[in-house]
Structure 1
Amino acid sequence: MEITALGYIGILSSQLDLWSGMATGLLGMEQVDRGGKVRAFRMDDRKQRLIVDGSSDAGLSVMGWEVATHDELDRLAARLDDHGIAVTRGTRALADQRHVEELISFRDPEGNPLEAFCKPALASSPFKPGRPISGFRTGALGMGHVVLSVEDVEPLLPFYRDLLGFKVSDFGLKPYKLYFFHVNGRHHSFAMVGAGRRALHHFMLEVGQLDDVGQGYDLAQLEEGRIAYTLGRHTNDHMTSFYVNTPSGFFVEYGWAGRVIDPATWQPHETFDGPSLWGHERLHMPEEQRKRMRDMRLSAAARGIRAPDPNVAALNCAWLDAAIARE
């Protein structure tokens, strides 16, 4: 499988100042001064992970997927081309903007924009979080995960599963079709929900300590309308998290202790207990829909459904390792 991780996400939004305030002051990213109508943000030793382009308000502009070598990038491009997917080789200027050696651009069958790249550039200075946090869990697990709302899941399965090589982690069919995919040990780096519409639903960032989440939750509650899902824990990836509304109308999930699986032995399966064990009250939903989700959580609780206590490995974070070494 060529693709190894989610490398970066690009957003089109004219609300640059609002994005900068949220990304640094709440999420703890470091802003990189790109100037003009572009803001870029770091999470680790990579030069950038999130790019916000102010030229329009179109939402998702790109999902950037990492491969290890130029040869693997060529193999992926050839397979996509063989199956009728239009592939564009990125210009040197675009590769420089993305801080990678080489990339290709293409779209999924619903038109969602993707890039695959190799050899990302590393920053020369340590990561400086926008607020005090322990750091982000990235490294081999990638930036985090991204979830799309799609018209219909079924026509997209052959593209992501068979062409791109994403592996199904698990799936649910009620109250809507929801498929989760892994490309490394992170339980899922990509998911799609059959919502009858096309949009970015959310992307997820994982921090190193529960207190990072709790302190972020306190900060988010100070802003009217910022919280989209209350603090809760997911059934499948065991992430303890909350969701915030963004200036672009989709969500960011901010979590801790996501499940790490062994891709070599993992077996895909259907889930029946709903998306959350507790919490995650969806404040943006009408009451009827909220009640349906709440009833699923209460049913799981009544049946004693539990997730194991997390056994969280230390962060694999170059900037944090360097800071500890200096101390």
Structure 2
Amino acid sequence: MEITALGYVGIKSSQSEQWSRMATDLLGMQRVDGAAKVQAYRMDDRKQRLIVDGSDDSGLAVMGWEVADAAALDRLAGRLEDHGVKVTRGARALAEQRHVTELISVQDPANNTIEVFWGAARASDPFRPGRPISGFRTGPLGMGHVVLNVEEVEPLLQFYRDLLGFKVSDYGLTPYKLYFFHVNGRHHSFAMVGSGRRALHHFMVELGSLDDVGQGYDLAQLENGRVAYTLGRHTNDHMTSFYVNTPSGFFIEYGWGGRVIDPKTWQPHETFDGPSLWGHERLYMPEEQRKRLRDMRLSAAARGIRVPDPSVPPLNCPWLDTVIAQE
């Protein structure tokens, strides 16, 4: 498997100032200068992780996936071309805008744009969060994860699993098809929901401390309509999180304590207990749909379903390491 991590996410939204306030004041990202009409945000020692292009309101613009080196990029490009996928070599100007050495661009079967790159640039100055947080869990696990609403799962399953080499972590088949994929030790870096729609559902960022999440939850509740899912814990990746509504109509999951797996020994399996052990009340849903998901959580509780408490590895954040060294 050439792809090693989710490197960055790009979106298109004309609501640039609303994005800036949310990304910095609530999420704790650091805004950095971008090109004209483009805002970029740091989460760690990378020059950017989130890109907000103000040219239109089309939502998800790009998912940037990382490979180790030029040879890995060439292998993946060759395999895609051998299977009839059009591969475009990124221009030097685009690579410089993305702060990478080299990249290619392809479209998945649902016309989502994917960039695969190597050689991400490191910032020369330390990460300065937009609000006091311990930092984001990135490093070898990547930026976080992305979840897509899709019209049909099967064509995308063949593309992401068989061509890109993503590995299935687990899946559900009812009431709709739902697949989770890993590319490293993070339980999933990508997932797709066969909802019949084509749109970004959410992306997730993981914090270094449960208190970061709890304090973010307090801040989010100060804004009318900001919280989309209440605080809760997922069954499959064990993440404790809440979700916020973004200015672009999709969600961001803000979490801690995500499961780290061993990709060499992990076995994909079907899940049956619903998405959450507790919490994650979907405030945006009609009551009938909320009740169905609530009943699934109550069933899990009645059966005593539990998952292990997280064994959280060191944050692996150069910014935090610098602060600790100075202290």
TM-score of the pair, normalised by structure 1:
0.99
Instruction: Provide the rounded CA distance (Å) in 2 between the counterparts of 1:100 and 1:58.
Output: 24
Match of 2:68 in 1: 68
Match of 1:310 in 2: 310
1:189-208 matches, cutoff 5 A: 189-208=189-208
Match of 1:39 in 2: 39
Match of 2:263 in 1: 263
Match of 1:124 in 2: 124
Three-state SS of the structure 2 residue aligned to 1:19 is: helix
Instruction: Provide the rounded CA distance (Å) in 2 between the counterparts of 1:76 and 1:230.
Output: 40
Match of 2:102 in 1: 102
Give how far 1:51 is off. 0.2
Match of 2:79 in 1: 79
Instruction: Provide the rounded CA distance (Å) in 1 between the counterparts of 2:38 and 2:294.
Output: 40
Match of 1:210 in 2: 210
Q: Identity over the aligned pairs, expressed in percent?
A: 80
Residue by residue, what CA displacement relative to the aligned partner does 1:91-119 show, whole Å, maximum 9, x if unpaired?
00000000000000001011011000000
1:1-327 matches, cutoff 5 A: 1-34=1-34, 36-327=36-327
Give how far 1:33 is off. 1.6
Give the counterpart letter for 2:279 in structure 1. Answer: G
Instruction: Provide the rounded CA distance (Å) in 2 between the counterparts of 1:213 and 1:119.
Output: 31
Give how far 1:36 is off. 2.8
Give the counterpart letter for 1:56 in structure 2. Answer: D
Three-state SS of the structure 2 residue aligned to 1:258 is: coil
Residue by residue, what CA displacement relative to the aligned partner does 1:111-158 show, whole Å, maximum 9, x if unpaired?
011000000000000000000000000000000000000001122111
Instruction: Provide the rounded CA distance (Å) in 1 between the counterparts of 2:310 and 2:67.
Output: 29
Give the counterpart letter for 1:49 in structure 2. Answer: R
Instruction: Provide the rounded CA distance (Å) in 1 between the counterparts of 2:33 and 2:65.
Output: 23
Instruction: Provide the rounded CA distance (Å) in 2 between the counterparts of 1:69 and 1:20.
Output: 33
Three-state SS of the structure 1 residue aligned to 2:101 is: strand
Residue by residue, what CA displacement relative to the aligned partner does 1:24-80 show, whole Å, maximum 9, x if unpaired?
000000000225311000000000000000001000000000000101101111111
Give the counterpart letter for 2:140 in structure 1. Answer: A
Where does the alignment leave 5 or more consecutive residues of structure 1 unmatched? none
Instruction: Provide the rounded CA distance (Å) in 2 between the counterparts of 1:154 and 1:71.
Output: 29
Instruction: Provide the rounded CA distance (Å) in 2 between the counterparts of 1:10 and 1:204.
Output: 13
Instruction: Provide the rounded CA distance (Å) in 2 between the counterparts of 1:107 and 1:88.
Output: 10
Instruction: Provide the rounded CA distance (Å) in 1 between the counterparts of 2:18 and 2:35.
Output: 15
Three-state SS of the structure 2 residue aligned to 1:94 is: helix
- Further displaced range: 234-243 or 286-295: 286-295
Where does the alignment leave 5 or more consecutive residues of structure 2 unmatched? none
Instruction: Provide the rounded CA distance (Å) in 2 between the counterparts of 1:38 and 1:213.
Output: 27
Instruction: Provide the rounded CA distance (Å) in 2 between the counterparts of 1:33 and 1:61.
Output: 19
Instruction: Provide the rounded CA distance (Å) in 2 between the counterparts of 1:253 and 1:207.
Output: 11
Instruction: Provide the rounded CA distance (Å) in 2 between the counterparts of 1:210 and 1:319.
Output: 19
RMSD: 0.6
Three-state SS of the structure 1 residue aligned to 2:140 is: helix
